[in-house]
Structure 1
Amino acid sequence: MIAEAIVSFVVQKIGDFLVDEGVYLHGVRGEVEWVKEELGWMQAFLKDAERKQNDARVKKWVDAVRDITYKAEDVIDNLILQVGDTSLVNKPIARHELGKKMEEIKNEIIQIRQRRKTYGIKNLCQGGEGSSSMSQSLREQRRTSPLLEDTEIVGFQEDVKTVVERLIKGDSRLCVISIVGMGGLGKTTLARKVYNHDTVKNHFDCNAWICVSQEYDTTDLLQSIMRCFMIPTMEHHGMNAVQLKEKLFKHLKGMRFFLVVDDIWKTEAWNALAAAFPDMNNGSRVLLTTRNREVASSADCQSCLHELQLLGKDDSWKLFCKKAFSAQDSNCPKNLEGLGKVIVAKCHGLPLALIVIAGLLSKKERLPSEWEKVLKSLSWQFVEREQQISRILALSYEDLPYHLKLCFLYIGVYPEDHEFSARQLIWLWVAEGIVYPRGVETLEEAAEDCLVELIQRSLIQLVKRSSIQGVKSCRIHDLLRNLSISIAKEEKFLDGSTNSLSPYKARRHCVHHGIGKYISIKQSTPCPRSILCFSLDGENLVKNELGLLCQRFPLLRVLHLHRIEVKEFPNEIGTLIHLKFLGITGKVRNLQRLPSSIANLRNLQTLVVDEHNEIEIPSDIWKLQQLRHICVNGTIKGPEAGLLSFPSNLQTLKSIRADNWREDCLGKMINLRKLAIWRLDVSGHGNRFLDCIPEFNQLRSLRLVVSPFSNPYPCPPISNLQHLYKLHLSGTFVKLPESHEFSPNLTKLTLEKTRLVHDPMTTLEKLTNLRILRLVFNSCVGKEMVCSAEGFPQLESLELEGLRHLTEWRVEVRAMRSLLYLRISSCNQLKMLPEGLQHVTKLRKLELSFMPQSFKNRLRNGGEDWHKIRDIPYIHLSVDNLASLRL
Structure 2
Amino acid sequence: MAYAALISLAQTIHKILNNDQYTVSDHEKQQITCIHEHVIFLQTFLEDFPEKAKNLEGRIRDVTNEAEDTIEYFMSEQITPHIGYQFHPMEKVREQIESTVGEVMRIKINSFKIKDVGYRESPAASSSSRLVPTDKNDMVGFDDDLIAIKGRLCGGSSKLQVIPIFGMGGIGKTTLAKHAYDDPLIMEYFDIRAWVTVSQDYRVKEILSGLLVSVEVFNTRRSSERNESVAEKVYKSLKGQRYLIVLDDMWSANFWDDVKMIFPDDDNCSRIILTTRLSDVAAYADPCSPLHEMHFMDVDQSWNLLRHKVFKKGNCPRELKNIGKKIARSCRGLPLAIAVIAGLLSTVSQTKASWENIAENVSLAVTTDDEQFAKILFLSYNHLPHHLRPCFLYMGGFPENYEIHVSKLIKLWVAEGFLKTSGLKSLEEEAEEYLADLVKRSLFFVKRRKSNGKIKSCSVHDLVRDLCIRIAQQEKFLLHVMERSVGETILESIKNQRRVTINHSNFSFAASICGSSIRTVICFQSGVSYLGSLVNFRLLRVLNVVNSNTEALVLLPAQIFELFHLRYLAFDYHIMVPAAISNLQNLQTLIILTRKELRRYLSLPMEIWRMPQLRHLVSSYFSLLPNPQGANFPLQDLQTLSVAINLICTAKMLKMIPNLKKLGIIYFGDVYDQDFRLENLIYLRQLEELKLKTSSYFPFRPTLNPTFPEKLKKLTLSGWEFPWNNMKIVGSLPNLEVLKLRDSACDGSKWETSEGEFRRLKFLLIDDSDPQHWITESSHFPRLKCLVLRCCWRLSEIPEGIGEIPTLELIEVKASNKYVVESAKWIQEQQQSWGNDAFQVRCEHY
TM-score normalised per structure 1 = 0.82
Distance of aligned partners of 1:339 and 1:25 in 2 relative to their CA distance in 1, 3 Å threshold: same
RMSD: 3.9
Distance of aligned partners of 1:872 and 1:449 in 2 relative to their CA distance in 1, 3 Å threshold: closer
**Residue 224 (structure 1) aligned with residue 196 (structure 2):** no
The Cα shift of 1:807 comes to 6.4
Partner of residue 293, structure 2: 307
Task: Pick the aligned partner of 2:441 from 454, 457, 462.
Answer: 457
Percentage of pairs with the same residue: 30
Whether the 8 Å contact between 1:428 and 1:581 is mirrored in structure 2 is yes
Task: Pick the aligned partner of 2:532 from 538, 541, 547.
Answer: 547
Distance of aligned partners of 1:767 and 1:158 in 2 relative to their CA distance in 1, 3 Å threshold: same
Whether the 8 Å contact between 1:568 and 1:594 is mirrored in structure 2 is no
Distance of aligned partners of 1:352 and 1:823 in 2 relative to their CA distance in 1, 3 Å threshold: same
Task: Pick the aligned partner of 1:408 from 384, 392, 398.
Answer: 392
* Mapped partners of 2:69, 2:537: distance in 1: 12
The 10-residue stretch of structure 1 (568-577 or 33-42) with the greater mean CA deviation from structure 2: 33-42
Kindly report which structure 2 residues correspond to 1:167-178, keeping only aligned pairs within 5 A, or say none: 167-178=153-164
Question: Aligned to 2:69, what secondary structure does the other structure show?
Answer: helix
Task: Pick the aligned partner of 1:607 from 590, 597, 614.
Answer: 590
Kindly report which structure 2 residues correspond to 1:328-477, keeping only aligned pairs within 5 A, or say none: 329-379=313-363, 389-477=373-461
Partner of residue 853, structure 1: none
**Residue 577 (structure 1) aligned with residue 572 (structure 2):** no
Partner of residue 12, structure 2: 13
Q: Which amino acid aligns with 2:138?
A: E
**Residue 877 (structure 1) aligned with residue 835 (structure 2):** no
Task: Pick the aligned partner of 2:720 from 709, 724, 731.
Answer: 731
* Mapped partners of 1:382, 1:184: distance in 2: 13
1:829-860 C-alpha deviation (Å, 9 max, x unpaired): x684476444311799xxxxxxxxxxxxxxxx
Distance of aligned partners of 1:820 and 1:474 in 2 relative to their CA distance in 1, 3 Å threshold: same
* Mapped partners of 1:85, 1:841: distance in 2: 67
* Mapped partners of 1:501, 1:112: distance in 2: 27
* Mapped partners of 2:722, 2:737: distance in 1: 21
Q: Which amino acid aligns with 1:510?
A: T
**Residue 259 (structure 1) aligned with residue 245 (structure 2):** yes
* Mapped partners of 1:179, 1:17: distance in 2: 57
Q: Which runs of 5+ in 1 are unaligned?
A: 845-870, 879-887
Partner of residue 607, structure 2: 620
**Residue 83 (structure 1) aligned with residue 78 (structure 2):** yes
**Residue 694 (structure 1) aligned with residue 693 (structure 2):** no
Whether the 8 Å contact between 1:786 and 1:810 is mirrored in structure 2 is no
Distance of aligned partners of 1:662 and 1:272 in 2 relative to their CA distance in 1, 3 Å threshold: same
* Mapped partners of 1:248, 1:191: distance in 2: 22
The Cα shift of 1:555 comes to 2.1
Distance of aligned partners of 1:221 and 1:657 in 2 relative to their CA distance in 1, 3 Å threshold: closer
Distance of aligned partners of 1:224 and 1:727 in 2 relative to their CA distance in 1, 3 Å threshold: closer
The Cα shift of 1:814 comes to 5.8
* Mapped partners of 1:715, 1:792: distance in 2: 24
**Residue 66 (structure 1) aligned with residue 61 (structure 2):** yes
* Mapped partners of 1:466, 1:111: distance in 2: 49
1:623-656 C-alpha deviation (Å, 9 max, x unpaired): 1111111122213323331100111121112133
* Mapped partners of 2:741, 2:689: distance in 1: 14
* Mapped partners of 2:216, 2:192: distance in 1: 9
Whether the 8 Å contact between 2:197 and 2:249 is mirrored in structure 1 is yes
Partner of residue 704, structure 1: 692
The Cα shift of 1:582 comes to 1.5
1:600-619 C-alpha deviation (Å, 9 max, x unpaired): 11111112222222321223
**Residue 821 (structure 1) aligned with residue 811 (structure 2):** yes
Distance of aligned partners of 1:17 and 1:738 in 2 relative to their CA distance in 1, 3 Å threshold: closer
The Cα shift of 1:716 comes to 3.1
1:135-185 C-alpha deviation (Å, 9 max, x unpaired): 99934556xx8x424432422111112122223333444332211111111
1:207-247 C-alpha deviation (Å, 9 max, x unpaired): 211111122111111111111223699x999999x933344
1:17-49 C-alpha deviation (Å, 9 max, x unpaired): 355588643665666566556666665665577
**Residue 151 (structure 1) aligned with residue 137 (structure 2):** yes
TM-score normalised per structure 2 = 0.86
The Cα shift of 1:11 comes to 4.5
* Mapped partners of 1:693, 1:454: distance in 2: 36
Question: Aligned to 1:216, what secondary structure does the other structure show?
Answer: coil
Distance of aligned partners of 1:701 and 1:607 in 2 relative to their CA distance in 1, 3 Å threshold: same
The Cα shift of 1:763 comes to 4.5
1:265-292 C-alpha deviation (Å, 9 max, x unpaired): 1222222222322344443322111111
Question: Aligned to 2:407, what secondary structure does the other structure show?
Answer: helix
Question: Aligned to 2:262, what secondary structure does the other structure show?
Answer: coil
The Cα shift of 1:199 comes to 3.7
1:299-319 C-alpha deviation (Å, 9 max, x unpaired): 222221111011223322222
* Mapped partners of 1:116, 1:436: distance in 2: 22
1:336-374 C-alpha deviation (Å, 9 max, x unpaired): 212211111111121111111111111222222322232
Distance of aligned partners of 1:814 and 1:73 in 2 relative to their CA distance in 1, 3 Å threshold: closer
Q: Which amino acid aligns with 2:64?
A: T
The Cα shift of 1:761 comes to 4.2
Partner of residue 769, structure 1: 760
* Mapped partners of 2:635, 2:523: distance in 1: 28
Partner of residue 666, structure 1: 654
* Mapped partners of 2:111, 2:491: distance in 1: 33
The Cα shift of 1:461 comes to 0.5
* Mapped partners of 1:742, 1:371: distance in 2: 51
Distance of aligned partners of 1:150 and 1:215 in 2 relative to their CA distance in 1, 3 Å threshold: farther
The Cα shift of 1:453 comes to 0.8
Distance of aligned partners of 1:268 and 1:365 in 2 relative to their CA distance in 1, 3 Å threshold: same
* Mapped partners of 1:162, 1:230: distance in 2: 29
* Mapped partners of 2:645, 2:292: distance in 1: 55
The 10-residue stretch of structure 1 (698-707 or 457-466) with the greater mean CA deviation from structure 2: 698-707
Question: Aligned to 1:177, what secondary structure does the other structure show?
Answer: strand
The Cα shift of 1:663 comes to 2.9
Whether the 8 Å contact between 2:11 and 2:417 is mirrored in structure 1 is no
Whether the 8 Å contact between 1:320 and 1:355 is mirrored in structure 2 is yes
* Mapped partners of 1:250, 1:732: distance in 2: 35
Aligned length: 812
Whether the 8 Å contact between 2:541 and 2:566 is mirrored in structure 1 is yes
The Cα shift of 1:755 comes to 4.4
Distance of aligned partners of 1:97 and 1:359 in 2 relative to their CA distance in 1, 3 Å threshold: closer
**Residue 161 (structure 1) aligned with residue 156 (structure 2):** no
Distance of aligned partners of 1:421 and 1:518 in 2 relative to their CA distance in 1, 3 Å threshold: farther
The Cα shift of 1:426 comes to 1.1
Whether the 8 Å contact between 2:164 and 2:282 is mirrored in structure 1 is yes
Distance of aligned partners of 1:493 and 1:136 in 2 relative to their CA distance in 1, 3 Å threshold: closer
Q: Which amino acid aligns with 2:4?
A: A
Question: Aligned to 1:317, what secondary structure does the other structure show?
Answer: helix
Distance of aligned partners of 1:760 and 1:547 in 2 relative to their CA distance in 1, 3 Å threshold: farther
Distance of aligned partners of 1:386 and 1:729 in 2 relative to their CA distance in 1, 3 Å threshold: closer
The Cα shift of 1:508 comes to 1.2
Q: Which amino acid aligns with 2:271?
A: R
* Mapped partners of 2:226, 2:511: distance in 1: 32
* Mapped partners of 1:843, 1:474: distance in 2: 36
Distance of aligned partners of 1:111 and 1:756 in 2 relative to their CA distance in 1, 3 Å threshold: closer
